[in-house]
Amino acid sequence: MAERHLVDARGAFCPGPLMELIAALRHAAIGDEVEVWSTDKGSAADIPAWINKVHHDLVSINEADGRWSIVIRKAK
């Protein structure tokens, strides 16, 4: 059964949130979701671009009070 993992990368500067996401994906199973919290403004564009490049799935992206929540499904 697919699981949801949380990566709290608030306060980390580029490319810290991306690296933390990749580390979490390596330990996740295919179909699992990883939710990244980031306060780095670049993450909102960087992480979706990376997901598109390496062919994972973007589930959702939301911002509230300066905190981005980006949910990725591991596709491979």
Alpha helices in the chain (DSSP H): 16-26, 43-54
CB of 22 to other proteins, least distance (A): 5
Query: Is 14 one of the annotated active-site residues of the chain?
Result: yes
From 2, 6, 14, 23, the catalytic residue: 14
Residue window 11-50: x/- pattern of binding to other proteins, with contact defined by CB under 8 A: -xxxxx-xx--xx--x-----------------------x
Edge to edge, the sheet with strand 57-64 lists 4-8, 33-38, 67-73, 57-64
Between 14 and 62, name the residue whose CB sits nearer to other proteins. Answer: 14
Residue 71 in contact with residue 61, Cβ under 8 Å?
Answer: yes
Give the catalytic positions in this structure: 14
